[in-house]
A and B are shown apart, each in its own frame.
Chain A
Amino acid sequence: MNMPRFAGRAASIRKHGRGVGLNLVSLMDIFTILVFFLLVNSSNVQQMPNSKSVKLPQSTSDRLPEETLLLLVNQEHILVQGQPVVRLAELEGGEEVLIEPLLKELQHHAERNGLMQVGAAPGEVTIMGDREIEYRLLKRIVATCSLANYSSVSLAVIRKAREKV
């Protein structure tokens, strides 16, 4: 059964001088298409930390994020520019609206960016908050930002397609 095939192959090798080459045409097609697709896709990459600990809420907004101070709020910590500042467990039950350690950290950043001078334009801050956090916490964070002259607040969200009507 197999004999003729082997014989044919052997003959082919003898004739062409080497084995039959892999047919790579379709693989090449896929790769070429894939490379162009990915190149186009990655042309507008934003440098946003892709943190696994935060599940951002979804929104239909199409405003692109800007380079701003980044405040990340997950279920356990508040992080400013990737540095953990406060544990959320420490904040529970607190009566005052302001978050002292966060305020200190923000003022430190504001000073470096020249936002503490009189008449300085308000600083921009982007809050990446977990979708499960409560308004109670968000309010305190926003109030603290506002006091440190970071009063242009953006909320980071994941873009989703808009429902029809």
Chain B
Amino acid sequence: MIQGFRRRPKETELNITTFMNLMVILVPFLLITAVFSEITTLQLNLPQPGAFADEPQKPKLQLELIIRGNDLLINNAVGKAIERVAGSGGEMDLKALSAALYKVKLSNPDHTEITLLLEQNTKYERLVALMDTVRSKMIASGITTEEVVMFPDISIGDAPDDEEVER
């Protein structure tokens, strides 16, 4: 009795074999099913039939963004062109666009709609990048940055063919 008691203490060990079995199965399973690139969505505004008919009065701002190659033009469809953002180095200048739109947002804080007018061969990727820029802006305040919602109600349309709007 005493002999057995003396011999045992060093020998006791947790039996982890079943736990290991579980882990070995679980880890590959979870690794396979894990989603590392998360899919999210962007909402697109489509004009509802008859939506324009019962609008109470003509809005004073109908914001448009015309994309022509790498050049962007912020335009008010019921007024004058607001600002032109020229592209540089074969790319659109999204930072300048963001800054220009933020100015528009500051003077029209309640406005949330914008229409992107695209050329026929504009790449989808570019459209999404523009939607991102137009939707919101990150403003640095102290050490943190906060997201400012700009124009989240985005519609798309064809860019006008000629230069008439760009006077």
Tell me whether A and B are bound partners.
yes
A132 and B123 contact, Cβ closer than 8 Å, known pairs A57-B128, A165-B138: yes
**Chain A stretch 23-62: residues in CB contact (< 8 A) with chain B:** 24, 28, 31-32, 34-35, 38-39, 41-42, 45-46, 48, 50, 56-62
Q: Which residues of chain B are within 8 angstroms of A39 by Cβ–Cβ distance?
A: 30
Contact yes or no, B140 A164, CB < 8 A:
yes
Contact yes or no, A42 B16, CB < 8 A:
no
Q: Which residues of A contact B (CB under 8 A)?
A: 16, 21, 24, 28, 31-32, 34-35, 38-39, 41-42, 45-46, 48, 50, 56-66, 122, 126, 129-136, 138-139, 142, 146, 151-159, 162-165
A158 and B124 contact, Cβ closer than 8 Å, known pairs A24-B16, A142-B46: no
Pick the contact of A157: B23, B41, B118, B140 (CB < 8 A).
B41
Q: In the complex, what distance in Å separates the CA atom of A124 from the CA atom of B13?
A: 58
Q: Please classify how large the interface on chain B is, using the bins under 10, 10 to 19, 20 to 34, 35 or more.
A: 35 or more
Q: In the complex, what distance in Å separates the CA atom of A16 from the CA atom of B129?
A: 67
Interface SS majority for chain A: mixed
Pick the contact of B44: A57, A142, A164 (CB < 8 A).
A142
Determine how close the nearest CB of chain B comes to the CB of A21; give it in whole angstroms.
7
